[in-house]
């Protein structure tokens, strides 16, 4: 079945540095990918919608200059947390939309998530 | 429909009983809904989906009911097992898949 791979699974970085998280669709092309963050015992909060070849659409309250999203190919989207601070520590999850061979599908597959700890 | 930073409601059931998890959505334009299961420290896993032109869909041990009149979605799990313990989220898709939002989620605990 379709798989979305997220890397790294776990990263620790120093405060002030930047960290990049990759999201790959392994056996389908994804024109649309989504990025979420999740705090313990809470729901997933949509951060941005990433469309291949165009700028990401950020949700209200999400700083686009801090959370840089790049979707340069149909199988890869990246989220870069710039100048990370301890409050950015969270579980970040991506998902990718599989439109199917006719382009009319809407199946969403999730990556396994990336734990970011900023120290 | 948009996920918010609320703490999750909880549901505890005895093993073998049926579970019903509810979800309210806000946008009548949402045309596709998915239930996901998320185990601790992992990404969400697809369980079952339903389109807005349906009001019921059944899978293996799971049934999703959609009431568009009151914008309500439910997931029924038959003969709940300890392995069903997880957090369950409903998700609504709007605008032909370009907007995707999670509900608050429910933490299900199955008591052996």
Pairing of strands A10-13, A114-118: parallel
Q: Return the closest-CA partner of residue B104 out of B18, B29, B9.
A: B9
Q: Which residue has the tokens 């120093």?
A: A14
Residue with tokens 């405060």: A15
Residues in chain B within 8 Å Cβ distance of A46: 2-3, 100-102
B112 lies within 8 A of chain A by CB: no
Would you tell me which residues 59-88 of chain A have a C-beta closer than 8 angstroms to some C-beta of chain B? none
A28 part of contact set with chain B, CB < 8 Å? no
Which residues in B lie closer than 8 A to residue A95 (C-beta atoms)?
43-44, 100
Q: What is the pLDDT of residue B100?
A: 73
Whether residues B102 and A107 touch (CB distance < 8 A) is answered with no
The mean pLDDT of chain A is 89
**Residue B1 pLDDT > 50:** no
> What secondary structure, in 3-state letters, does B3-42 show?
CCCCECCEEEEECCCCEEEEEECCCCCCCEEEEEEECCCC
The torsion region of residue A9 among left (phi > 0), alpha (psi -120 to 50) and beta comes to alpha
pLDDT number for residue B28:
80
Q: Report, as an integer, the average pLDDT of A34-63.
A: 89
- B45-95 per-position pLDDT tens digit: 889 999 899 999 999 999 999 999 999 999 999 999 999 999 998 988 876
Q: Are A34 and B104 within 8 A, CB to CB?
A: no
CA dihedral B96, B27, B77, B57 (to 10 degrees): -50
| Res. B4: pLDDT tops 50 | no
Q: Is the pLDDT of residue B3 over 50?
A: no
Work out the average pLDDT over A17-40.
Answer: 92
């Amino acid at each position: 079945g379709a798989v979305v791979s997220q890397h790294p699974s776990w990263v620790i970085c120093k405060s002030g540095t930047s960290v990049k998280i990759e999201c790959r669709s392994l056996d389908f092309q994804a024109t649309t990918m989504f990025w979420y963050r999740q705090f313990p015992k809470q729901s997933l909060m949509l951060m941005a919608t990433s469309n291949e070849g165009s700028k990401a659409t950020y949700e209200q309250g999400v700083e686009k200059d801090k959370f840089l999203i790049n979707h340069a190919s149909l199988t890869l989207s990246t989220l870069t947390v710039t100048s990370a601070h301890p409050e950015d520590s969270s579980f970040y999850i991506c998902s990718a939309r599989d439109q199917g061979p006719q382009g009319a599908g809407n199946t969403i597959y999730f990556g396994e998530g990336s734990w970011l700890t900023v120290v | 429909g948009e996920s918010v930073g609320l703490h999750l409601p909880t549901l505890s059931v005895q093993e073998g009983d049926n579970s019903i998890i509810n979800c309210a959505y806000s946008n009548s334009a949402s045309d596709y809904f998915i239930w996901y299961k998320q185990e601790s420290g992992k990404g969400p896993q697809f369980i079952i989906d339903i389109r807005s032109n349906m009001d019921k869909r059944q899978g293996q041990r799971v049934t999703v009911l959609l009431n568009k009149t009151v914008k309500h979605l439910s997931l029924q799990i038959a003969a709940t097992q300890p392995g069903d313990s997880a957090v369950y989220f409903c998700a609504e898709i709007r605008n032909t898949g370009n907007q995707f939002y999670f509900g608050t989620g429910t933490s299900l605990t199955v008591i052996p």
